[in-house]
Amino acid sequence: MKNIQLTNLSNNFDKKTKYKLGTWCINYKNYNDKKIKIIDYHWNNRKKLYKDYFYIKRLKKKILILLTNKLNRFHKSKNDIRYWQILLDPYLSYIISTFFDRWEIITSLKEKYFYVNYDFKNKNLFFENTEDFIYNVISNDCVNQFIFQEIIKFKSDKKLNISKNIRINKVKKNKKKK
């Protein structure tokens, strides 16, 4: 089985790992290294992108209906779906499409790989607000490593096996530049 790098989190393991889950795993000084193999990105297939766009749109609508009911109960209000859509749509769109993308990246693997498992137990993955969460999902390797590992664990994917465990002592969150 081949080793694959999920994020750009570990440099020791990843120097000898030529398979990368995506371009985000590459140090740009090694970008033109011909030995590096990047897994095909699932949305490079435009038909799949088009199909997934409509799936995500339907999924977002279902989630919005559920949230409307829950939020109205929580706030003891009777706001219609449009009210909650105006408030939540930008965040829901981003969060749903991002997590769906991560899910599909793992699903699209066609071969068997080993990966480094990071232990995030008892680590603070708390975010100050939604904007902080979204920013860190975009740019933080620790957060994305955690997301990929949770997807792998949930799927119990036999294509991905742990090659070694590394304990994370501190999760560094990226601070948004102002």
- Encoded tokens for 8: 């750009």
List, as one string, the DSSP characters of 28-87.
Answer: GGGTT-TT-EEPPPGGGSHHHHHHHHHHHHHHHHHHHHHHHHHHHHHHT----HHHHHHH
Angstrom CA distances, 135 to 4, 62, 173, 177, stand at 25, 25, 10, 10
- The whole-number pLDDT of residue 71 equals 96
Q: For 139-175, write each residue's pLDDT tens digit.
A: 888 889 889 988 988 887 666 777 766 665 555 555 5
* Whether 17 contacts 5, CB under 8 Å: yes
pLDDT class for 92, splitting at 50, 70, 90?
very high
Distance CA 17, CA 2 (A): 8
Q: For 5-61, write each residue's pLDDT tens digit.
A: 888 876 545 556 788 888 888 876 666 667 788 899 999 999 999 999 999 999 999
Phi, psi of 35 (to 5 degrees): -75, -20
- Encoded tokens for 116: 């480094």
Question: pTM for the full model?
Answer: 0.82
Beta-carbon contacts of residue 139 (< 8 Å; ≥ 6 apart): 174
* Whether 168 contacts 35, CB under 8 Å: no
Q: Token pair 């000898």 is at which residue?
A: 16
- The whole-number pLDDT of residue 96 equals 94
Q: Is 140 exposed, middle or buried (0-12, 13-18, 19+ CB in 10 A)?
A: buried
- The whole-number pLDDT of residue 63 equals 96
Q: Token pair 């706030």 is at which residue?
A: 75
